[in-house]
Structure formats: structure tokens, C-alpha cells
Amino acid sequence: MMTQTFSFEFFPPKTPEGIEKLRNTRRQLAQFSPNFFSVTFGAGGTTQQGTIDTVLEIQSEGHQAAPHLSCIGSTRDNIRQLLNLYRDNNIKRIVALRGDIPSGMVEVGEFRYANELVEFIRAEHGDWFHVEVAAYPEYHPQARTALDDLDNFARKCKAGASSAITQYFFNPDAYFAFVDEVKFRGVDIPIVPGIMPINNFTQMARFSDTCGAEIPRWLRNKLQAYGDDVASIRSLGLDVITDLCDRLLTAGAPGLHFYTLNGAGAVSTIWQRLGL
């Protein structure tokens, strides 16, 4: 029986109020004993210090922290220092990403793709780190074609990835089709679905249009029809996401990774409804 992995993702807060809010969120979510908390890393490393501070605080509280490491705009020396810092603090899990190219950035740095970052981590630290990579069941919005994206993903995995976390999606068929296609390419690492709770339709629609996550037409129309009725949006969102998680786990997904947006409410309700 495969062990399932459950995790929660945060972004580094930028204000004292944000730091306090995240501490409260963490306290609430820690009761579910997740395998780890991951912390994002801004485009071009804009929130690098915030990521480090948040990760070290999580680790000091006795939880497993998994910092995101984005290679765009980074040098080998810069990545090496971060890896050494994390290893010295007994951090054993890294989320290795290419990262978004900030507008106006001319030099992408010494790494161009995530597979190069994964290779570098393995060359420097062997098997010390459990290396997570990103997967896009509906394909990366910047990929030339769907087949190119599948090949890119396989390349990252063969470079030494331990497991993958997907971009969020609302269509489970997209996830299962993706898993089958990469298996055909020789990839057999666990691919954990990324889950985005629905709290705010406008924000979610903006995120989804940027990252290429399809909102099913019926769902988009129904959420739009609720207008400013926040309670109805959240109620429908809880039903839709709980059902999605249930279908994924029943069909054998190796866990769930929740994009919390630094809030605990919706995630806690979904977790309890699933009986995890």
C-alpha cells in the first residue's frame, strides 16, 4: 500500500500582520499532521529572504519545511549557498522550479530549465534532499505544444526528481490522462495533485487565466452568477473541491497538496469533510 503525502503551501508574508496571520494558519493546519509545509519563492528571487525566514521558523516549530527554489535569475553560487543553508538546518525537501521570468529581465541566470537545477542539486548533495518538481496536467502555458511539455516533465524526472506536485486543476480527467502519458514516457515517481480551494471567484479566475488552469464552463458560469454573494461562492467551492479531492484519492492519487493562500478555513473544512 502506497503511503499518501499531504502538504500545505504558503507564500512568505511581507508585513508583521501577515507574519502573525500565517502563524495562526500554521497552528490550525498543524493539527492535521501534514508531511510538510512548502513556502514559495518570488519571481527572480524577489521574496528570497522571506522564504528563508519562514522556512526556518517552520522548521524550528518541529515541522518539515520545503522551500521552493527557483533557478531563473540565480547563479550556481547563490543556489549552492541556499542548499548548504537548508542542509545545515536539517531541511530535507526542496521544491525545484524554473520559476517565472519577471518582465524586463534580460539575463535568466546560469540555469535555464528546472531539469538543470535538479541535476545541480543531485551533483552537490546526492540523495540528501527529496526533490519535488512541478507538473502541469493541462500543460504549461508557455510550452510550444502539449507533447513538448510532457517531454520537459520527463526530462526533469529523469534528472533526479523524487516526486512532483501539480498545478491546480478542476478536471480530474486531465490529471489522470497526464499521469498515464508520463508513465508511457518512463516516469514512475508519485505525482501529487495540487488543490486550490475556491474562496474568491475573481481572484481564482485571474490566477487560472494566468497559469492555464481551466475552470469548467458550468462552474465559471455558476460562480459568476453569484456575483458578490460570498457565502454561496464559498459553499459551492467547498462542495466542488471536496468532490474533486474525493475522486482523486479514491482513484489512487498519491496524496494532496493544498494551495492555502495563507488561510486555514476552507482547507480545514475540506480536510474534515474528506475524513482524512
The pTM of this model reads 0.93
Highest mean pLDDT among 93-107, 165-179, 204-218: 165-179
Rounded mean pLDDT of the chain? 91
8 Å CB contact between 40 and 75:
no
The question of whether 9 is a catalytic residue gets the answer yes
Q: Which pLDDT band, with edges at 50, 70 and 90, does 105 fall under?
A: low
Give residue 75's pLDDT. Answer: 83
Catalytic: which of 9, 116, 119, 138?
9
Residue carrying C-alpha cell 501529487: 192
Note the pLDDT tens digit of each residue in 184-228.
999 999 999 999 999 989 889 999 988 889 999 999 999 999 999
Note the pLDDT tens digit of each residue in 29-67.
999 999 999 999 865 555 678 899 999 999 999 999 999
Highest mean pLDDT among 45-49, 74-78, 245-249: 245-249
Give residue 68's pLDDT. Answer: 94
Task: Render the chain in DSSP notation, one character per residue.
Answer: -PPPEEEEEE----SHHHHHHHHHHHHHHHTT--SEEEE---GGGTTHHHHHHHHHHHHHTT--EEEEEE-TTB-HHHHHHHHHHHHHTT--EEEEE-----TT----BS--SHHHHHHHHHHHHTTSSEEEEEE-TT--TT-SSHHHHHHHHHHHHHTT--EEEEEE-S-HHHHHHHHHHHHHTT--S-EEEEE---S-HHHHHHHHHHHTPPPPHHHHHHHHHTTT-HHHHHHHHHHHHHHHHHHHHHTT--EEEEE-TT--HHHHHHHHHHT-
Give residue 269's pLDDT. Answer: 97
Exposure of 156 in the CB half-sphere (CA atoms within 13 A):
28
Give residue 90's pLDDT. Answer: 95
